[in-house]
Chains A and B, each alone.
Chain A
């Protein structure tokens, strides 16, 4: 139990992979969700990008960005409070969370302009 809570602490290097793991899960969910949505209910091609599919994908992405960005912010704050090893861990995690948040934004951007199933 103690080991588990230690691992949750923001200075644990486990957080190196936290943001990118969330990114991966989001990526799989969005790609998988899109494939399934297109297989189950293809919207009319004339609708362009303004479809429920795009909207829900964007919503999921927004939620993910907020979550990861919050973690990044928390890590930055934590990093300031420590020295040496813990500082290093929290700082690298913070940048990795930040990168993951931006990666979500970057990869999600085409949802605004492209029709979903063509």
Chain B
């Protein structure tokens, strides 16, 4: 059994080498052709080993499938053109058996066996097998319709943020995902496959980003009216930058930042009396119904991908969020003065650790 296992591993190695070559070719073809317009969510533009394996498998499968497809269809169409031959029943039986056994049994058996040999090793790589050294763990919790991201392993205490996911590049990361309400799915297309986020269960998936960079992600399991607007900004940083990023988000530092500027005292009061029921800002409130806002000024988008973060964006969001993202769970703020919203927005925008 052990031998077979080794044999299996060796086979996987050869496959990988062969596929890398195929992929290089395909990447060139794609670069020339359609994928030129691929965005940051394209499966065909992998940025991690797991996703790369899948793309290799895809191109091999596509090539093979195309050959089979053309062969079968051509044979079918050819039967309408070819001349009819009179045959004895014995001859007919022989020809029929050849088609049925060759095409009906051998062809699929061969194809699917080959496919499984490629596929199983690729799947194994995404398992959270023990590695001999600790792996960074990031918890991601889905909400209707935003993401809660937690770093339980951060030195100096857990770090919490929302709608953005920063991970160290060049090393495997285990994502522990779950949901606070309905089923969502966690998926960073360029890094690898998706996993569902189920209430009451924690699923684990291991992904790795080759290089620092920004990757798109979006909830993949239909989760209600605003499933569409549930983007996650994913950013891979070098290890040191990642550590620094975590360091900046320690609760004391964030609290300092939130309480720093006296000109926002009014805004903080407003926040405490209304927003704090749902939102938390370190040092001021700690409710977890809505997204944590402690570092909101440093995020790239608002409303899980609805608006780009820029000056005045938060105020605009607060005024219009029910039209920008209809039926989101935050109540409308019609009753608040424009000036109040403006100061609130300005303060939140200043929360940039």
Residues of A within 8 A of B (CB): 45-46, 48-50, 109-110, 112-115, 118
Instruction: Assess the B5–A49 pair: CB atoms within 8 A.
Output: yes
Query: Which stretch in B76-84, B121-129, B222-230, B337-345 binds the other chain?
Result: B121-129
CA distance A99 to B13 in the complex (A): 32
CA distance A112 to B5 in the complex (A): 8
CA distance A110 to B115 in the complex (A): 13
CA distance A107 to B4 in the complex (A): 18
- Residues of chain B within 8 A (CB-CB) of A114 are 120, 124
Instruction: Verify if B331 is at the interface (C-beta below 8 Å from A).
Output: no
Instruction: Assess the A118–B130 pair: CB atoms within 8 A.
Output: no
Instruction: Report, as a range, how many residues of chain B touch the other chain.
Output: 10 to 19
Instruction: Assess the B1–A112 pair: CB atoms within 8 A.
Output: yes
The 4 residue pairs across chains A and B that have the minimum distance between CB atoms:
A118-B127, A46-B130, A45-B130, A113-B8
Measured CB to CB, the nearest residue on chain A to B9 is A113
- Residues of chain A within 8 A (CB-CB) of B5 are 48-49, 112-113
B107-125 vs A, CB cutoff 8 Å, 1 = contact: the mask equals 0000000001000100010
A50 to chain B, nearest CB (A): 7
CA distance A112 to B124 in the complex (A): 13
CA distance A114 to B124 in the complex (A): 8
- Residues of chain A within 8 A (CB-CB) of B124 are 113-114
CA distance A84 to B149 in the complex (A): 69
B115 to chain A, nearest CB (A): 12
CA distance A49 to B1 in the complex (A): 10
Measured CB to CB, the nearest residue on chain A to B105 is A99
Given A45-B128, A109-B116, A118-B127, 8 other A-B residues pairs in contact with their CB atoms under 8 A: A45-B129, A46-B130, A49-B5, A112-B5, A113-B8, A113-B120, A114-B120, A115-B127
B138-153 vs A, CB cutoff 8 Å, 1 = contact: the mask equals 0000000000000000
CA distance A50 to B5 in the complex (A): 10
CA distance A67 to B5 in the complex (A): 27
- Residues of chain A within 8 A (CB-CB) of B1 are 50, 112
CA distance A109 to B116 in the complex (A): 10
**Looking at the complex, which one of B4, B116, B129 makes contact with A115 (CB distance below 8 Å)?**
B129
- Residues of chain B within 8 A (CB-CB) of A110 are 116, 120
Measured CB to CB, the nearest residue on chain B to A46 is B130
Instruction: Assess the A118–B8 pair: CB atoms within 8 A.
Output: no
Within residues 1 to 39 of chain B, which ones have a CB less than 8 A from any CB in chain A?
1, 4-5, 8
